[in-house]
Structure 1
Amino acid sequence: MTALALLHGTNSDGPSAFGHVIDRFTDQWKVLTPDYGGAGRSTVADGPLSLELLVAEIAEALRSGGEEPTDLVGHSLGAVVAAATAATHPELVHRLVLIAPWSDSRNPRHRLMFETWLGLQTLDPELGQRFGLSHAFSPTFLAALEQQQLDAMLSSNPPAGLDRRIDLGLRIDLTETLSAVTAPTLVIGLTKDSLVPLEHARSVHQAIPTSTFTEIDTGHAALLENPEATVTAIRTFLLPN
């Protein structure tokens, strides 16, 4: 059975990002949900994170997952890590899905968003949590929540190392890397994403010669806000026959 690795984003770990949808994939894959960057079960030395370190963590996880190349799905920062892993370790990746990726962090709006998030997270983690949540979901989705549902989301503790992963999100540059991706790739842009807007995903698609592109009508946390459409897109691409 082929392995499928699901890479979480900045403000999550493997179980919180994918635990509710893992059973949608276990019929066809051995599912891996590795933590990285200090989240969950991952431990890294103190100091700033580097993309190279996270890629090394994931490459080791893929090697331990089996002898055959792995299907690799990444969301947000996980999509950045997945793309860099596929580019530098092509022998490890069978097919690749990138949800809400970005190629570099020089965009002024991107810097404004992540610098604000990091500042709030450092100053007052509760404010950082509120900022992150307000951009994780679309306005329509958030407005439809009951107050107790929103309070429950706000009361959950963010995964360890969140500030370090936000900081890394300000130091991404894949502009010279994406063209080296050779695995068949699906890039998914999210139409209501205010954290990593749709144009970032389009740019990643344009930079990967082997990629196709699709859009899902949802906010940034696609697997929470619109899990059915997101899982269907992933499965349809990974199981073309």
Structure 2
Amino acid sequence: MGEHVRAGNLDIWTEQVGRGPEVLLVGGLGDTVESWQFQLDGLADRYRLIAFDNRGAGRTPMPDGPVSVEVMADDAAALLGVLGLAPVHVAGFSGGSIISQELALRHPGLVRSLVLQSTWPVMDPYLRSWARFVRRLVEFAPSERAFLEDFFLDIYTARAHNDGTVDQFIEEVLAFPHKQAPRDTQRFLDAFIDHDTTDRLPGITAPTLVLAGGLDPTARPELCRSVADRIPGARFEILEGEAHQPFQEIPETWNSRVDAFWRELAPVT
């Protein structure tokens, strides 16, 4: 059962499950702790998992003032500080992977390892154009359902669209009572469009696993690889046949892979 945790000047909605080495899960655009449900269910027998709603998403409010990746990384650091946890394994996807990069750069003592799913060092022109398209879609889609149907075309595989998985996700999102305001979605996107860690990635010292979906049309494998190439000793793997969010589409495979990575660093007791 989640709760609000006061961290700095922000009440961050946080859910903690399981026992063992601590793992911080960092979500992407508008995503809430529910986006990590397969991990909260599938890894809690081995790890203490901490998931949270970023500012402006779900049950965490969006304060007035500038929104930046640096601010959101500091939110995560403040949450870990209040919980008295350090260092922790950190796993982030999409925008959450960029927040995770910044967390490792700004607060290296808090990060035991990094798993970066569907990541990039800086948006290339194609990804930047896609992000701006989503920004417009938020405003002009005729309904929430229409927005989700269009947005999810680039997020999930054709397999997930054809077997009903995406329809199920859409119904769950539509039923979720804590909606992200369209303006907050746009402010989140704006924070990432020109954010650039290219020259700073070599400063990350935490062991890092970078995962790419082989069919991801947004955070494409070459973008993910460019992150791994810049982080000393980072591992890079392509999940063939997968798109942007394999941790939801093939959770058992994804959980097994990151579990093996964490176990290599220190055996789970």
TM norm structure 1: 0.90
**Within 5 A, what are the aligned runs for 1:51-130?**
51-105=69-123, 107-124=124-141, 126=144, 127-130=146-149
Taking the aligned partners of 2:120 and 2:193, their CA distance within structure 1 comes to: 11
Q: Does residue 189 of the first structure (1) align with residue 207 of the second (2)?
A: no
- Provide the secondary structure at the position in 2 that maps to 1:20: helix
> Aligned in 2, Cα 1:146/1:69: closer, same or farther, shift over 3 Å?
closer
The match for 1:174 is: 197
Aligned to 1:159: 180
Report the equivalent of 1:231.
255
- Segments of 5+ residues of structure 1 without an aligned counterpart are none
Q: CA 1:191–1:11 in structure 2 vs 1: closer, same or farther (change >3 Å)?
A: farther
Deviation above 6 Å: which 4+ runs of structure 1?
none
Shift of 1:37: 2.7
Q: Which amino acid is the alignment partner of residue 220 of structure 1? A: H
The one-letter code of the counterpart of 2:42 is: R
In the other structure, the counterpart of 1:201 is 224
CA contact 1:82–1:98 (8 Å) conserved in 2: yes
Aligned residues: 239
The superposition leaves residues 192-214 of structure 1 with CA deviations (integer Å, 9 ceiling, x where unpaired) of: 11221111110100110131111
Query: Could you tell me whether the CA contact under 8 Å between 1:6 and 1:18 is conserved in 2?
Result: yes
Q: Could you say if the C-alpha distance between residues 170 and 128 of structure 1 is closer, same or farther in structure 2, counting changes exceeding 3 Å?
A: farther
How many angstroms apart in 2 are the aligned matches of 1:6 and 1:188? Answer: 15
How far the C-alpha of 1:9 sits from its partner, in A, is 1.0
Counterparts of 1:188 and 1:129, CA distance in 2: 24
Amino acid in the other structure paired with 1:112: S
Please report how far the alpha carbon of residue 52 of structure 1 lies from its aligned counterpart in structure 2 after TM superposition.
1.2
Change in CA separation of 1:38 and 1:151 when aligned onto 2, cut-off 3 Å:
closer
Query: Which residue is equivalent to 2:14?
Result: none
Q: Structure 1 residues 48, 156: closer, same or farther in 2, change over 3 A?
A: farther
TM-score (normalizing by structure 2):
0.81
Aligned partners of 1:83, 1:117: CA distance in 2, in Å?
23
CA deviation digits over 1:80-127, x for unaligned, max 9? 10011011111001111101111112x111111111110110223534
Counting aligned pairs with the same residue, the percent is: 25
Q: Is contact 1:181-1:210 (8 Å) kept? A: no
Structure 1, 90-99 or 123-132: larger mean CA deviation: 123-132
Distance 1:203 1:149, change over 3 A: same
Q: CA deviation at 1:159?
A: 3.5
Match of 1:237, as an amino acid?
Answer: F
Tell me whether 140-149 or 78-87 shows the greater mean CA deviation. Answer: 140-149
Residue 3 of structure 1: how far off its partner (Å): 1.5
2:28 paired residue among 2, 5, 9? 9
Conserved 8 A contact 2:202-2:231: yes
1:131 alignment counterpart: 150
Unaligned 5+ runs, structure 2: 1-19
| Aligned partner of 1:141 among 146, 154, 160 | 160
- Contact kept, 8 Å, 1:195 with 1:220, in 2: the verdict is yes
